[in-house]
Amino acid sequence: MNSFANAAKIVSLANCPNLGLEIDAFDVIAVGVSMENLEAVFPLQIFLVQFSDFMSQEIGSTEE
């Protein structure tokens, strides 16, 4: 999903109390999602925010 507004709309339409959004900061930056779009999300729809330290570790090869 490349839009907070679209994700928030889907959660609202589902009308399910145990359904919410998980926002991964790394993916937001990698895909280039506009943070202005975040204003479309009702705060109670956000269940989890992940701040990853992805680049702080060396990435090994599949052979390791």
Q: Check whether 56 has a pLDDT greater than 70.
A: no
| Any domain includes 64 | no
The tally of domains found in the chain comes to 1
Q: Which residues of 14-23 are buried (b: 16+ CB within 10 A; e: fewer)?
A: eeeeeebbeb
Q: What is the pTM of this model?
A: 0.68
Q: Where are the beta strands (DSSP E) in 1-64?
A: 21-24, 46-50
Residue 8 burial (CB < 10 Å; 0-12/13-18/19+)? buried
17 or 29, greater pLDDT: 17
Residue 25: which pLDDT band, with cuts at 50, 70 and 90?
confident
Amino acid 20: pLDDT: 95
Is 63 inside a domain boundary?
no
Q: Which domain holds residue 21?
A: 4-53
